[in-house]
Amino acid sequence: MFRPNVSLSSRILATVKWLFEALRGAPKLSLLFLVFCVICAAFAPWITPFDPTIGDLENTLAIPGWNAHFLGTDHLGRDLWTRLVYGIQTSAKVGILAVFVSGAAGTLIAVVAGVFKGWIDGVLMQITDAFQALPFLMVAVTVLALLGPSTTNVILVLGLLRWMSYARILRSEVFRVTETDYVRLAIVAGAGKSRIISRHVFPNLINTLVVIATLELGTVVIFESALSFLGLGVPAPGASLGTMLADSQSYLYNQWWLPVWPGVGISLLVMSANLTGDWLRDRTDPTRRQL
């Protein structure tokens, strides 16, 4: 007689219970849309049969309907569903990589300033203040105009100009951690700074770092779309939500679907990232957590 594996079933039940507990109060629709964006980024060629850069000039400006192009086509006959999927892929890729670059730079500066303190902290915070005083969008437009539009340049520019908030917030966290008793005891016991950083400081920064990165993702997506709209982001004929909006300028009144789909994509992506970031902030901050 077959007997179920009690240990395995209990583990599965415990995992499901933990998942429900971890997602309690989570914006589930936002998380589902972010999962959809990740799927688009990973499996875009399998989601749609069309090429985002090749159009059909005999089927331009097709109206959305129950056909092969159910979201319609643009002025070059390119399928808008395909363009939307690849545009979300581009925004997700640029956003995640730019947030990684800015998060890594900001975390490094925060850890160095908070651990070494003294004149090193003063110099690094002066540099942070100087970068914060720069008009971000103007600097980004100028740099990209000089370097030329490309996805790599957009990632580097957005990443290297958005690290200041990480440095400021995480620096205060590093100061708090380094003043705790267990860190002081580790220093008395002879632990070096590298061990203090790897064993005590950085693990305590992960929650705050994830929250800042999630909130920053929406901002980076908006800036990437704005730069692509200006022709300084993803170069044509590559698919980008900002490029789709720029292409729809001449068709705002008669072909409503051309600006609507990329606009909805940008709005949902930014809103999902912000709602998820707010939820993570509430979950990781005991003073804001609802019992």
Q: What is residue 2's predicted lDDT score, i.e. its pLDDT?
A: 45
Q: If 0-12 CB within 10 Å is exposed, 13-18 middle and 19+ buried, where does residue 260 land?
A: middle
Tokens of 163: 């690290």
pLDDT per 10-residue tile (average), the chain, 291 residues: 53 61 71 84 84 86 84 90 90 91 94 88 92 89 90 92 92 87 79 80 86 89 91 83 89 88 91 85 62 43
User: What is the rounded distance in angstroms from the CA atom of residue 29 to the CA atom of residue 44?
Assistant: 21
Cα Rg, the chain, nearest whole Å: 23
CA distance 222 to 254: 26
3-state secondary structure of 73: strand
Q: Which domains does the chain have, with CATH numbers?
A: 35-41+70-284 (1.10.3720.10)
Contact 274, 215 (CB under 8 A): yes
Buried b vs exposed e over 132-157: b needs ≥16 C-beta within 10 Å?
eeeebeeebbeebeeeebebebbbbb
pLDDT at residue 263 in the model: 92
CB atoms < 10 A from the CB of 271, how many? 15
Position 39 scores a pLDDT of: 85
Q: Terminus-to-terminus CA distance in the chain, angstroms?
A: 45
- Evaluate whether 55 touches 85 at the Cβ level (below 8 Å): no
Q: Residue 1 has what pLDDT?
A: 45
The answer to whether 235 and 149 are in contact (CB under 8 A) is yes
> 107, 123, 135: which is closest to 208 by C-alpha?
107
- What is the per-residue pLDDT across 194-223, written as a single tens digit (0 to 9) for each? 888 888 888 888 888 988 998 899 899 999
User: How far is Cα 246 from Cα 224, in angstroms, rounded to an integer?
Assistant: 13
Read off the pLDDT of residues 238-262 as tens digits, 9 standing for 90 and up. 788 999 999 888 888 888 889 999 9
Return the bridge partners of 79, or none: 73
Q: Give pTM, 2 decimals.
A: 0.84
